[in-house]
Structure formats: C-alpha cells, structure tokens
C-alpha cells in the first residue's frame, strides 16, 4: 500500500508541471506492480480543487471518474485521525504542517504504511511518525 499526497496526482494530470514525467512514471510503475494506491479524503478534495482551479473542470471531472473506477482506493478519516492531526499540527506548528499533510501522516500511522507519494519534501522529511523513523517518499528523486 502506498498513501498519496496531492502533489504527484496534480503533477501527473498536468503536462506542463515540472514533475509531470516523474509522477506519470511513478503511477505507471505502481500500477504495473499492482500496488494499492490509497487516497485520503482530504487529498481528494485538495486535488479536485487544484485541478478545477488551475487546469479546468473537465480535468477535475476526469479525476473523480478515475477514483470512482478504481484508480485510487479512497480512505476516510476517523475521529482518532482528526485528534492525531491536531496533535501533529501542534507539534509542528513552526512548519506549519496543515490539515492535508497531517491527515496523510495520521493515516500512515494508523494503517502502518511506510511509503508516501509526495513532492513535499519539506514537511514529510521533518515529521517523525510514531510507527517508523521516517517515511519512504516517492518518487525517490525530484
């Protein structure tokens, strides 16, 4: 299982993004390996908004159809996840971490996931999750 943050999804859907090729290749390799691609509800909302705002409503709609057809496995947050997100935001208030990134980390901890697809090295390298020393971030090189 691999948990997704916003960046790789947006980049793979946006051909003029500087990380488009890396993220498109990441998706291809993960799908070929039949990996489970987990999509937090917070990330889905953020991706949808960014696609609509920066690319257009047709791309947002395509993303939503993709989720509905199994491109990603949606993951909902629990009350305990929200509590952990609040704790993470308090602990890392100098970053600041923010709701979406905190949700990815909280879910990684709860689901015992060690791999996160993200372009956000600043936040995800600074945070020390409870279940591992550090998360493995993909793509490996930016």
Instruction: Tell me the binding residues for Mg(2+).
Output: 5, 101
> Residue 131: its pLDDT value, please?
98
pLDDT digits (tens, 9 = 90+) for 56-94: 999 999 999 999 999 999 999 999 999 999 999 999 999
pLDDT, mean of residues 33-39: 98
The pLDDT of residue 86: 99
* Numbered residues of the known binding site: 5, 101
With pLDDT > 70 as the criterion, what percentage of the chain qualifies?
100
- Backbone φ and ψ for 116, nearest 5 degrees, come out as -130, 130
Quote the mean pLDDT of the chain: 98
Structural domains in the chain (count): 1
* CATH code of the domain covering residue 95: 3.40.50.1010
Q: Inform me whether the pLDDT recorded for 141 exceeds 90.
A: no
Mean pLDDT across 19-42: 98
Q: Which domain holds residue 24?
A: 2-138
DSSP string for 14-60: -TTSTTHHHHHHHHHHHHHTT--EEEEHHHHHHHHHHIIIII-HHHH
Please tell me the distance from the alpha carbon of residue 3 to that of residue 117, in angstroms, as a whole number: 6
């Amino acid at each position: 299982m691999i948990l997704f943050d916003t960046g790789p999804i947006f980049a793979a859907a946006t051909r003029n993004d500087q990380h488009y090729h890396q993220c498109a290749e990441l998706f291809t390799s993960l799908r070929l390996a039949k990996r489970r691609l987990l999509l937090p509800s917070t990330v889905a909302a953020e991706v949808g908004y960014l696609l609509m705002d920066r690319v257009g409503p047709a791309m947002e709609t395509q993303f939503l159809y993709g989720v509905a057809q199994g491109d990603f496995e949606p993951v909902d947050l629990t009350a305990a996840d929200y509590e952990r997100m609040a704790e993470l935001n308090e602990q890392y208030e100098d970053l600041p971490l923010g709701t979406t990134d905190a949700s990815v980390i909280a879910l990684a901890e709860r689901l015992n996931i060690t791999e996160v697809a993200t372009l956000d090295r600043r936040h995800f390298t600074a945070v020390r999750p409870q279940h591992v020393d550090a998360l493995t971030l993909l793509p490996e090189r930016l």
